[in-house]
Amino acid sequence: MNLKSLFKICLFALLIVACKNEVKEEPTETAEVTETDFSFNVEEFADIKILRYQIPGWENLSLKEQKLVYYLTQAGLEGRDIMWDQNYRHNLKIRHALENIYTNYTGDKTTENWSNFESFLKRVWFSNGIHHHYSNAKLKPAFGKEYLNELLAATNTTLEGEAFEVLFNDKDSKKVNQAKGVDNVLESAVNFYGADVTNKDVADFYKAKTSPNADKPLSYGLNSQLVKENGVLKERVYKSGGLYGAAIDKIVKWLEKAQGVAENEAQGNALGLLIQYYKTGDLQTWDDYNVAWTAATEGNVDYINSFIEVYNDPLGYRGSYESIIQINDFDMSAKMAVLSENAQWFEDNSPLMDAHKKDSVVGVTYKVVNVAGESGDASPSTPIGVNLPNANWIRAAVGSKSVSLGNIINAYNNAGGSGRLKEFVHDEEELQLEEEYGQVADKLHTALHEVIGHASGQLNPGVGETKETLKTYASTLEEGRADLVGLYYLYDSKLQELGLVDDWKKVGKAAFDGYIRNGLMTQLIRLDLGDNVEEAHMRNRQWVSAWAFEKGKADNVIEKVTRDGKTYFNINDYDKLHDLFGQLLKETQRIKSEGDYAAVEALVEGYGVKVDQAIHAEVLERNKQFPSPPYSGFVNPVLVPEMNDAGEITAIKVTQPNAFAEQMLNYSKDYNNLPDVN
């Protein structure tokens, strides 16, 4: 089998639609479904579909490696409740009350009210709280106060005051509010800030902090809550003995066990630094850990654990807790390493201004991995790819790790259908391109986004971190910029030269079709009619697509077609669209490199926020024929250790939960580490 064929096998094994530092997307369209005996589907409720995933290669790990995976998985789960409390201050109280009702109610469970209660609880479980995992809007129960009071009384459950009333009123309506013209901190319900902390408070507090080394800025605010005590701003640090200390001590216990079975010295040293960071909360130790973790690339097992992604902070400082345990798929990773090996070529040949290009792109690794367990912000709604660490200086000086979660993507690929795709493509030619090349294009787009995109470009000397210069627009700008890198190079003969594709033009056309179709139409199925686009990654897909549509109008590059009362977007000139993507890539890198806030505000607000209401209504109406929910997430496999009489692990079996509620209730019972948090 030749190299090109091997690459095609690798590429078709994975399906990815949209990417980000932490790629948290499932497909809205599917071109191909493969057959398997494993049941990936668990259940559906509201707008959610629950799936299962397998752990390929588990049986090939040694017992020591399986222990490492088990210990890391347990460490991740011990911090699960941290994410709940970070999302909203009353989440744990509400969850405990709802779960107590669910497990103890003996009344009539055939009523519509009970069905609505059960659905609401499942939605809360899925979102790690009372705000929708994607839209950030507060979930609305389809039952009234009177019914909830009946359930509380019948089960001797207490839920009162603000924690009760917030389920039914308009208070704390958005977990994260990134709207222009409001105080984003005050208007966001996320529990990263005290009730009276403002945007200005945050900006002033961190402006006064100076890193010991200006070239290696510390991630101030990443692992703390900022509150006012007697009018004075103060950080409550997440650490042993600090905020969330009870859960963190449990995390540390399992990480110490993991360190004892580390595969190699580098991995063990990195785990040691992570343990030290959890114990002290010291941000210099966090950077030391990230440097060590990035360099630890050998072995079969890797992991993500801590307060990492900042998407839930409206100002981009504070990290949400998450954990992902990974088993490397070395065969596929080796095939994809060609992108890492050619990272400098892509940087040198990009349309960026010369001053914004890196002279040396270092340390980019790209692997396909299989997930063995997830927790916190990564579960039940999971990423499909991750690129870390996030600190720009570490990326530039040391490098980064990019991973694609192969078994998660495989589960999506085997649980979907192709109906939506056929509804929204413009013509048979577009459908055939998607069916033949869409999966290759999507996979390559993600790889280019993660390996080349996030590693590309550099800040001008003296320009601060993007969370300081671009503020609430930093995340969407960065993800759009990386998307544009992928789009630009997908329509380049270099991919065929490297053996990644058989026909670069057809792959590029399929990628362009899919991106424009999603950015201008199909992603709108995730929004309620009348809503603006709030989520950073939906915003970036819309502003990239809408900008290209508008700038290409004079040459009819992308044509808006109305046929039989339905709207389609048809690309007439792929070469010119490629040029437009290059122009926008150059501009987005300039904005990032120069910290141009006015420009990013104009770009995002002008193209990425407002929705064409007529098209939105049409998309929702056309989508009604497809019963499959727009969002998916996962139950995790359960790792069950077998012990000998001495209490030593002799084997670890992989089992699957029967139902979503079963796993959620077991997690609440086994990892209830923050009963008294406030």
Query: Could you state, in order of their start, the residue ranges of all structural domains in the chain?
Result: 89-174, 418-552+577-614
Q: How far is CA 288 from CA 83, 265, 269, 273, 282, in A?
A: 24, 15, 10, 7, 10
For residues 352, 355, 359 and 364, what is the CA-based torsion angle, rounded to 10 degrees?
A: -50
Burial 491-524 (b: 16+ CB within 10 A, else e): bbeebeebbbbeebebbbbbbbbbbbbbbbbbbb
- 425-448 average pLDDT score: 91
CA distance 611 to 520: 9
User: What is the reported pLDDT for 27?
Assistant: 54
Helix (H) or strand (E) holding 325: strand 321-328
Whether the CB-CB separation of 119 and 153 falls below 8 Å is answered with no
User: What is the reported pLDDT for 417?
Assistant: 60
User: What is the reported pLDDT for 329?
Assistant: 85
pLDDT over threshold 90, residue 43: yes
- 460-470 average pLDDT score: 92
pLDDT digits (tens, 9 = 90+) for 221-270: 999 999 999 999 999 999 999 999 999 999 999 999 999 999 999 999 99
3-class DSSP state of 225: strand
Weakest mean pLDDT among 411-415, 526-530, 560-564, 669-673: 411-415
Helix (H) or strand (E) holding 337: helix 330-341
pLDDT over threshold 80, residue 336: no
Could you give the percent of the chain with pLDDT greater than 70? 93
- 193-220 average pLDDT score: 96
Q: Return the higher-pLDDT residue of 420 and 321.
A: 321
- 362-369 average pLDDT score: 80
Q: How far is CA 55 from CA 25, 66, 299, 335, 533, in A?
A: 20, 12, 17, 20, 35
User: What is the reported pLDDT for 73?
Assistant: 98
CA 75 to chain centre: 20
CA distance 131 to 123: 9
User: What is the reported pLDDT for 628?
Assistant: 81
Amino acid at 132: H
Could you give the percent of the chain with pLDDT greater than 90? 81
pLDDT over threshold 80, residue 294: yes
Whether the CB-CB separation of 369 and 329 falls below 8 Å is answered with yes
Burial 138-148 (b: 16+ CB within 10 A, else e): bbebebeeebb
Q: Return the higher-pLDDT residue of 440 and 196.
A: 196
Amino acid at 117: F
Whether the CB-CB separation of 3 and 9 falls below 8 Å is answered with no
Residue 335 banded pLDDT, cuts 50, 70, 90: low
pLDDT digits (tens, 9 = 90+) for 625-665: 987 888 999 999 999 999 999 999 999 999 999 999 999 99
Residue 339 banded pLDDT, cuts 50, 70, 90: confident
Can you give the C-alpha Rg of the chain in angstroms? 24
Long-range contact set of residues 644-650: C-beta below 8 Å, sequence gap at least 24: 649/63, 649/67, 649/70, 650/63
Q: Return the higher-pLDDT residue of 332 and 259.
A: 259
Closest listed residue to residue 314, CA positions, set 166, 205, 182, 218? 182
Q: How many residues does the chain have?
A: 678
pLDDT over threshold 80, residue 11: no
User: What is the reported pLDDT for 148?
Assistant: 98
| Count of CB atoms situated within 10 Å of the CB of 52 | 17
Read off the DSSP letter of residue 637.
P
pLDDT over threshold 50, residue 14: no
Location of structure tokens 């039940």 = 380
CA distance 585 to 565: 34
User: What is the reported pLDDT for 536?
Assistant: 87
- 570-579 average pLDDT score: 98
- 310-332 average pLDDT score: 92
pLDDT over threshold 60, residue 17: no
User: What is the reported pLDDT for 676?
Assistant: 65
Mean pLDDT over each residue of the chain, to the nearest integer: 92
The 3-class SS string of 381-424 reads CCCCEEEECCCHHHHHHCCEEEEEEHHHHHHHHHHCCCHHHHHH
Q: Is 380 exposed, middle or buried (0-12, 13-18, 19+ CB in 10 A)?
A: buried
CA distance 477 to 600: 7
User: What is the reported pLDDT for 24?
Assistant: 40
User: What is the reported pLDDT for 34?
Assistant: 47
∠ CA(59), CA(640), CA(248), 5° rounding? 110
Helix H segments across 448-569? 466-469, 474-490, 494-497, 504-520, 536-551
pLDDT over threshold 80, residue 7: no
- 469-475 average pLDDT score: 93
Closest listed residue to residue 192, CA positions, set 64, 78, 307? 307
User: What is the reported pLDDT for 678?
Assistant: 57
pLDDT over threshold 70, residue 19: no
CA distance 484 to 335: 23
- 543-559 average pLDDT score: 98
The 3-class SS string of 483-516 reads HHHHHHHHCCCHHHHCCCCCCHHHHHHHHHHHHH
User: What is the reported pLDDT for 200?
Assistant: 97
Confidence (pTM): 0.79
Helix (H) or strand (E) holding 84: helix 80-87
Residue 416 banded pLDDT, cuts 50, 70, 90: low
CA distance 400 to 391: 10
Residue 287 banded pLDDT, cuts 50, 70, 90: very high
Beta-sheet pairing, 232-237 with 364-376: unpaired
